[in-house]
Amino acid sequence: MHLDHHRHGPAAVSADAHRPDGSHRALRIGLGGPVGSGKTATVAALCRELRAELSLAVVTNDIYTREDAEFLLREAVLPPERITAVETGACPHTAIRDDISANLEAVEDLEDTVGPLDLILVESGGDNLTATFSKGLVDAQIFVIDVAGGDDIPRKGGPGVTMADLLVVNKTDLAPHVGSDLARMAADAKAQRSELPVILQSLRGGSGVADVAAWVRERLAAWTA
């Protein structure tokens, strides 16, 4: 098993910031998290927030389908040539952590065909709490959980919750309906993550997305500095 993340913790961007022709490559941000937590919806919201100011593209990962990419295409969050689907054919974490070749090919193809790009969002297929991205694939990662998945998830930890560069707790609008204690989730997340940021988000209610977009802008500023 590849344990890189566990040893080195979050941070910093990988060294190869340049393409073979010397130009600066796009910042790659991975979005992972349990099935149905709101990864695709977060990608869509980020595209809407950032597309006017940045050149961006998306790679989605599904096991046997292209459903996430098809959703993004239907929603027209970006022109179709900026959205690529990888069919993983196996556990989603394999394609983002162990054999990242299909995803690397997808991001490089996007840069070749629609580049230059500022940002590529790589969405993992829904997985469990242990799924994280290889640092050879992305420069930073966002882990998306949701309040309906149980308010004990932050307390349970796992590398996504504890080490991701940003933890998003999504669907806060559902908390009263599913009996989740948001304050407890936020406190548990903070205890697990020390100084690493946590954002509470409701895509239904429209809150938190601007903060996630601001975090992406900060990463990008650091990447291109």
Ligand X SMILES: Nc1nc2c(ncn2[C@@H]2O[C@H](COP(=O)(O)OP(=O)(O)OP(=O)(O)O)[C@@H](O)[C@H]2O)c(=O)[nH]1
Exposure class string for 2-17: b at 16+ Cβ within 10 A, else e: eeebeeeebeeeeeee
Q: Does 204 bind ligand X (CB under 6 A)?
A: yes
Which DSSP string do the residues of 10-74 spell out, in sequence order? S----S--B-TTSPBPPEEEEEE-BTTSSHHHHHHHHHHHHTTTS-EEEEEEESS--HHHHHHHH
Tell which one of 126, 158, 159, 160 touches ligand X (CB under 6 A): 126
> Based on CB atoms, which residue is closest to ligand X, 63 or 114?
63
Tell which one of 36, 115, 136, 197 touches ligand X (CB under 6 A): 36
- Please write down the HEC assignment for all residues of 89-140: CCCHHHHHHHCCHHHHHHHHHHHHHHCCCCEEEEECCCECCCCCCCCCCCCE
Cis bond upstream, residue 176 (ω within 30): no
Q: What is the smallest separation between the CB atom of 62 and ligand X, expressed in angstroms?
A: 7
> Based on CB atoms, which residue is closest to ligand X, 126 or 159?
126
Alpha-carbon distance of 164 to 76, in angstroms, equals: 28
Q: Answer yes or no: is 35 a known binding residue.
A: yes
> Based on CB atoms, which residue is closest to ligand X, 55 or 94?
94
Half-sphere exposure of 80 (CA within 13 A, CB side): 3
Q: Does 203 bind ligand X (CB under 6 A)?
A: yes
Looking only at the bridges linking them, the beta strands covering 198-200 and 166-170 are parallel
Q: Pick the piece of the chain touching ligand X (CB under 6 A) from 36-44, 79-87, 128-136, 158-166.
A: 36-44
What kind and span of H or E run contains 216? helix 209-224
Q: What is the smallest separation between the CB atom of 45 and ligand X, expressed in angstroms?
A: 9
> Based on CB atoms, which residue is closest to ligand X, 114 or 174?
174
12-31: which residues touch ligand X (CB under 6 A)?
A: none
Q: Does 170 bind ligand X (CB under 6 A)?
A: yes
Q: Does 141 bind ligand X (CB under 6 A)?
A: no
Q: Does 91 bind ligand X (CB under 6 A)?
A: no
Q: Does 38 bind ligand X (CB under 6 A)?
A: yes
Q: Pick the piece of the chain touching ligand X (CB under 6 A) from 2-10, 81-89, 150-158, 167-175.
A: 167-175
- Binding-site members for GTP are 33-40
Q: Which parts of this chain interact with ligand X (CB under 6 A)?
A: 33, 35-41, 68, 125-126, 170-171, 173-174, 202-204
